[in-house]
Chains A and B, each alone.
Chain A
Amino acid sequence: MIKESSRQPEQASFRETVAAGDYFIRTVKAGQTVRLLDLEGNQAADTLFYSAADPAERYSAMDTLREQGNVYLTAGTVLMTNRMNPLLEIVADTCGRHDTLGGACATESNTVRYDLEKRCMHACRDSWMLAINAHPEFHLAKQDITHNINFFMNVPVTAEGGLTFADGISAPGKYVELTACMDTVMLISNCPQLNNPCNGYNPTPIEVLIWD
């Protein structure tokens, strides 16, 4: 469901643009609100969240969609951890719904989905492998790179049990906003995928804004 925010970008305490193919990692404090802004439309922002105090506790796609009884994430969704605690709440959403079934692309899954010889094309999970090794201060390892949210992606499930890749419903200026329920590490891959329409075949930058 569409829900606008009244927060003003000029009052954000932090703003940074993330280019396509880059990762972004930062701690969001409890009570802060973070906005992910789809600057040019139809960009997939693959996102993972962890408890900053103990990253073994992290965003759980399964617990979140099961507890809310719905496969799509939107305003009102509470992102749950693997220990069944609330991690963040989606407080504004002008896109309408977000995916958490499709996962993030990887060089390995790209060889399966597209072509065995595409193993060297850049992919989200490679960005995350670099992030965890370049930032040991966050204490993340490969087993922590688990099932993510794909903000701005539309992946409808059919009544017959199919998964479809429909046209994106995002557009320039669409955003999603989340308020942290605990100190949270946010790890984003701004998806570089060129082989399917999740980025409209044109990966573009997103902006991260944080309000206190």
Chain B
Amino acid sequence: MSDSLYTTTLPGSAHWSLRVRRGMQLRFTDLQGGANLAVLMYNPEALLERYNAPDTLKGQHTFKLTRGNCLYSDMGRVFASIVEDNFGWHETVCGTLSEKTLQQKYPVRSYQDHHNQWTLSGEHSFLTELAKYGLTERDMAANLNLFSKVAAADDGSLQFDPEAASPGASVTLRFEMDTLVILHTCPHPLNPATDYPMKPVQIDMLKADPVSDDDYCKNFRPENGRAFENNRLYHLGL
């Protein structure tokens, strides 16, 4: 993509972390369809401030996340806005694939026998990246699962929708403050596949246009507008 400042592809069963600056965008693309991109976010200047799923959901009166929604920190600020999305429904309540469940669910591939085709759990993937910043299991809050659709029926029963998988689907996050982003591509814990899905995700970094007064995400709900005002206060004097 000619507009991409940096492009890389995360293979399946992989993890990474990076600091994204305010005003930059990350575009994630599910190349083959059926990927899961798990995301945690922290303020790199104050690591106790982290992505908070309940604040994000209740603030926007939503269970699913798509274009227009903002991803809130627990300090009343926005880490990132979902500015583009053609997948349509991302989830943030089911957590991540534990080591225990990985062992029970899949034929596990060890590094010894399979090298880079080894099968990682979401739990170990997150713990590995978190340790690089002095963070631990206590810092593992509810994560985003991008490209995974989970719905609730009237009686509350949860359904993972494998039919939602879409080759080439992409979602773009615009960062409203500097953010430490922790990522892994291990399968969603409710994915019914009996063989461990190894699905790559392409990541492009792009520069965002300045946020205008009539910005779609800022105006999607009045709550988002107030959160943006908290970001404005946070950056005063910079």
Contact = CB atoms under 8 A, between A and B. Distances in A.
A71 B95 contact: no
B157 A69 contact: yes
A108 interface: yes
A71 B64 CA distance: 13
A147 B54 contact: yes
Contacts of B57: 101-103, 163
A84 B101 contact: yes
B139 interface: yes
A87 to B, nearest CB: 15
A163 B158 contact: no
Given A82-B140, A84-B100, A113 B58 contact: yes
A183 interface: no
A136 interface: no
A135 interface: no
B76 A102 contact: no
Interface stretch (B4-12, B146-154, B172-180, B201-209): B146-154
Interface string A114-138: 0110000000010000000000000
Contacts of A146: 141
A87 B139 CA distance: 19
B62 A161 contact: yes
B198 interface: no
B154 A102 contact: no
Given A70-B155, A70-B157, A112 B55 contact: yes
B61 A163 contact: yes
A111 B158 contact: no
A41 B174 CA distance: 43
Interface stretch (B15-23, B26-34, B112-120, B224-232): B224-232
Interface string A36-72: 0000000000000000000010001111011001111
B43 interface: no
Interface in B53-76: 53-55, 57-59, 61-64, 72, 74-76
B106 to A, nearest CB: 16
Contacts, number: 125
Contacts of B61: 162-165
A147 B141 contact: yes
Contacts of A163: 57-58, 61-63
A161 B158 CA distance: 12
B93 interface: yes
Contacts of A108: 74-76, 230
B48 interface: yes
A161 B89 contact: yes
Contacts of B100: 84
B236 to A, nearest CB: 14
Interface string B91-103: 0011110101100
B170 interface: no
B74 A157 contact: no
A66 B137 contact: no
Given A65-B158, A101-B93, A112 B59 contact: yes
Nearest to B230: A111
A163 B55 CA distance: 12
Contact of A71 (B89, B158, B190): B158
Q: Which 5 A-B pairs have the closest CB atoms?
A: A103-B54, A62-B95, A161-B64, A108-B76, A72-B156
Interface of A: 56, 60-63, 65-66, 69-72, 82, 84, 97, 101-104, 106, 108-109, 111-113, 115-116, 125, 141-144, 146-147, 155, 157-159, 161-165
23 contacts: A62-B93, A63-B98, A66-B94, A70-B152, A71-B156, A84-B101, A102-B57, A103-B55, A108-B74, A108-B230, A109-B58, A111-B226, A112-B76, A112-B223, A112-B226, A113-B223, A144-B138, A157-B152, A161-B64, A161-B89, A162-B62, A163-B61, A165-B61
